[in-house]
Chains A and B, each alone.
Chain A
Amino acid sequence: MTRIVIVGGGTGGTVLANRLVENLDHEVEAGEVEVTLVNDSPDHVYKPTFLYVPFGKKTTDDAVRPLADLVDRRVDLEINRVVDIDTDAKAVELQDGRDTLSYDHLVLATGAKLVPDEIPGLVEGGHHFYGAEGAEQLRDALADFDGGHLVLTVVGVPHMCPAAPVEFTLMADEWFRQRGIRDEVEITYTYPIMRLHGLESVSNWMEPRFEARDIHTETFFNAEAVDPEAGVISSMEGEELDYDLLVAIPPHAGDDLIADSGLGEDGWVAVDRHTLEADHAEDVYAMGDAADVPTSKAGSVAHYEADVVADRIASEVRGQLPTATFDGKTVCFIEAGMDEATFVEFDYEHSPDPRDESRPVHWAKLAYNESYWLTARGLL
Chain B
Amino acid sequence: MSEQLTADVTIDARGAGCPGPLMDLIGKVKTADSGTVLKLQTSDRGSVTDVPEWVEKAGHELVETVEHDDYWSIYVQKA
Which residues of A line the B interface, CB within 8 A? Answer: 156-158, 192-194, 198, 200, 220, 222, 224, 236-238, 294
B71 to chain A, nearest CB (A): 15
Contact A220 B23 (CB under 8 A): no
How long is the Cα–Cα vector from A239 to B26 in the complex, in angstroms? Answer: 15
Q: Which residues of B contact A238 (CB under 8 A)?
A: 58-59
Give residues 3-39 of B contacting A (CB, 8 Å).
15-20, 22-23, 26-27, 29-30
B23 touches A193 (CB 8 A): yes
In the complex formed, the residue of B with least CB distance to A193 is B19
A198-B59 in contact (CB<8A): no
The prevalent SS among residues of B at the interface is: helix
In the complex formed, the residue of B with least CB distance to A273 is B15
Name the interface size band of chain B: 10 to 19
* Inter-chain contact total with CB atoms closer than 8 Å: 42
A236 to B16, CA, bound (A): 23
For B59, the closest partner residue in chain A by CB is A238
Contact B50 A193, beta carbon cutoff 8 Å: yes
Which residues does chain A contribute within 8 Å of B30, judged by CB atoms? 222, 224, 236
Contact flag A194-B54 (CB < 8 Å), given A157-B19, A236-B29: yes
Q: What are the residues of chain B within 8 A of A294 when measuring CB–CB?
A: 15-17, 20
Judged by a CB distance under 8 angstroms, whether B67 is at the interface is no
Of residues A156, A194, A294, which shows the largest number of chain B Cβ atoms within 10 Å of its Cβ?
A194
Q: List 26 A-B contacts (CB under 8 A).
A: A158-B23, A192-B26, A193-B18, A193-B19, A193-B22, A193-B54, A194-B50, A220-B53, A220-B54, A220-B57, A222-B26, A222-B30, A222-B58, A224-B30, A236-B26, A236-B30, A236-B58, A237-B54, A237-B57, A237-B58, A237-B59, A238-B58, A238-B59, A294-B15, A294-B16, A294-B17
CB distance from B50 to the nearest CB of A (A): 6
* Nearest CB of B to A39, in Å: 29
Distance (whole angstroms) from the CB of B25 to the closest CB of chain A? 11
| Chain A residues, Cβ within 8 Å of B20 | 294
Residue on B with the closest CB to A158? B23
User: Mask for B50-76, Cβ within 8 A of A = 1, else 0?
Assistant: 100110011100000000000000000
**Chain A nearest CB, measured from B47 CB (Å):** 11
Residue of B nearest to A198 (CB): B19
Q: Which residues of B contact A194 (CB under 8 A)?
A: 50, 53-54
- Residues on A with C-beta less than 8 A from B29 are 236
A224 to B20, CA, bound (A): 19
Provide the residues of chain B in CB contact with A156, threshold 8 Å: 23, 27
What separation, in Å, do the CA atoms of A194 and B19 have in the docked complex?
Answer: 9
Of B20, B53, B57, B59, chain A has the most CB atoms within 10 Å of the CB of B57
Given A220-B54, A222-B30, A236-B29: A192 in contact with B23 (beta carbons within 8 A): yes
Report how far A116 CA is from B31 CA in the complex, Å: 16
Residues in B with CB closer than 8 Å to A193 are 18-19, 22-23, 50, 54
A193 to B25, CA, bound (A): 11
Residues of B within 8 A of A192 (CB): 19, 23, 26
Note all chain B residues with C-beta closer than 8 A to A158.
23
* Residues of chain B with a CB closer than 8 A to A236's CB: 26, 29-30, 58
- Tell me the complex Cα distance, A156–B31, Å: 14
A158-B23, A194-B54, A236-B30 given; 7 more Cβ-contact pairs under 8 Å: A192-B26, A193-B18, A220-B53, A237-B59, A238-B58, A294-B15, A294-B16
Chain B residues in 8 Å Cβ range of A224: 30
| Contact (Cβ within 8 A) B58 A220 | yes
Cα A224 to Cα B59 with chains together (Å): 15
- The smallest C-beta distance from B70 to any residue of chain A, in angstroms, reads 17
CA distance A224 to B30 in the complex (A): 8
